[in-house]
Amino acid sequence: VTTPPDVLDSSDPLAAFRDRFVVDDDLVAYLDGNSLGRVPKATVERLATFVSEEWGSRLIRGWEDSWVDLPVAVGDEVGAALLGAAAGQTVIADSTSVNIYKLLHAAAATRPDRDEIVIDATNFPTDRYLVESVAAARGMTVRWLEPDLVDNVTVELLGAELGDRTAVVVLCQVDYRSGTLVDLPALTALVHDAGAVVVWDLCHSVGVLPIALDAAQVDFAVGCTYKYLNSGPGSPAFMYVADRHLAEVTQPIAGWWSAADLFAMSDTYEAAPTIRRMLSGTPSVAGIVAVQEGVRLIAEAGVDAIRAKSEALTAYTIELLDDAGVELVTPRDADLRGSHVTVRHLDARRIADQMIARGAVPDFREPDLIRLGLSPLSTSFAEVEAGVRILVEVAAGARR
């Protein structure tokens, strides 16, 4: 490696953003922002104000002041800043898993004469489990793609499995293990050519790379906010439903928050004509407020600048790991990866534990993977260098 980390940090246009986060731990390197992002200082202040002034002083009146509108208002901010989505198609609610469940039913219902859901066997467990349960509930069949871990889902692989029975395809834009970034526009077009609809899981891509859902004519999408959106453990997820599906879309947890008139207490259910129809019950206002702060910080930095830093961070990490001869399962082409780099090692669990004991936090994924998550607004090059150095030292003493 030729360039020292302090030189990279001093020429980083986003370096100052690190000060916008709480960094008062005793860690040498936090390389797990792809699981749980750091806390923005603005969120600390905003939550304190929310508790004392909004909840504390306004009490129940807070709902009418602003809280009722927050799921859609903040959804629109996420849509505009991060998803390339025009207003009225994104909402903040519940968890990623619950939203996947809702979207799978919604998506399948748009293709009543078809009976297959296609998903890759490398997909995140919650996506796979939910696809199996929704398929069973609707009398559908799951068709499994078996991609290579590094290549992930390609046009060739998916194209071979689509047909006139395909109703829904479920894909992740960035693979949670390898960090591979797949071709969202091309795969979406392929699904549409087969007459099916797609549900994209954006958990590992939202906030670190430009996404253009409207332009790609994506049908449905979902993602979490506790990773690169830095909104806190268990913060609510987002859901996107394309305008053209909204009038017809149905969902299986239709509650009073999805009804046309929330406070009418009507005897019969009538779905809201807007994206509100994807809601279910009372939202977590504190959680949504934290999402709003997280999104605003990203919008201020700009997703394009964030992507440029993410590419530089992952390239630097790969260079350091290559120098040490460590095996990687992340694509070397920057266009084909997200913002984490994954090492494969027989002794991965022990290495990860020993790294943590030395103040460098990565995350371990069964059975033999260590992910290094590089959160562009809060991760410095110096931190990466220190973390990788500890990984390499620990790995040198580990079983091969």
Ligand X SMILES: Cc1ncc(COP(=O)(O)O)c(C=O)c1O
Q: Which residues of this protein are in contact with ligand X, per CB under 6 A?
A: 95-97, 124, 126-127, 172, 176, 201, 203-204, 224, 237
CB of 201 to ligand X, least distance (A): 5
Short-list 308, 315, 342, CA closest to 210:
308
Closer residue to ligand X in complex, CB, 173/380: 173
Cross-strand pairs, 116 = 141, 166
- Proportion of the chain in helix, strand, coil states, percent, rounded to 5: 45, 15, 40
Least spacing, CB of residue 301 vs ligand X, in Å: 23
- Least distance CB 95 / ligand X (angstroms): 4
Between 188 and 354, CB nearer to ligand X: 188
Of residues 226, 228, 238, 240, which has the active-site annotation? 226
Based on the residue annotation, tell me whether 227 is a catalytic residue of this protein. Answer: yes
CB nearer to ligand X: pick between 54 and 94: 94
d(CA 92, CA 128): 22
| Catalytically annotated residue among 18, 102, 177, 371 | 371
d(CA 108, CA 102) in angstroms, rounded, equals 10
Task: Please report how close the Cβ of residue 206 comes to ligand X at its closest, in angstroms.
Answer: 10
Query: Which is the catalytic residue, given 102, 177, 227, 309?
Result: 227
Quickly count: other Cβ atoms within 10 Å of residue 269's Cβ.
11
Are residues 243 and 86 in contact, defined by beta-carbon separation less than 8 angstroms? yes
Selected catalytic residue, list 94, 127, 175, 201: 201
291 with 231: CB under 8 angstroms? yes
For this structure, is 309 an active site residue?
no
124 flagged as catalytic: yes
Nearest to 272 by CA among 241, 302, 298, 235: 241
Which CB, 237 or 312, lies closer to ligand X?
Answer: 237
Peptide bond preceding 233 in cis form (omega within 30 of 0)? no
Nearer to ligand X, 273 or 281 (CB): 281
Beta strands in the chain (DSSP E): 29-30, 90-93, 116-120, 141-145, 166-172, 197-201, 220-223, 237-241, 340-344, 360-361, 363-365, 369-373
Q: How far is the CB of 199 from ligand X (least distance, A)?
A: 11
371 a catalytic residue = yes
Angle, vertex CA 246, rays to CA 242 and CA 250, nearest 5: 120
**What's the min distance (Å) between Cβ of 314 and ligand X?**
17
Q: Which is nearer to ligand X, 95 or 217 (CB)?
A: 95
Known catalytic membership, residue 240: no
**Residues catalogued as catalytic:** 124, 201, 226-227, 371
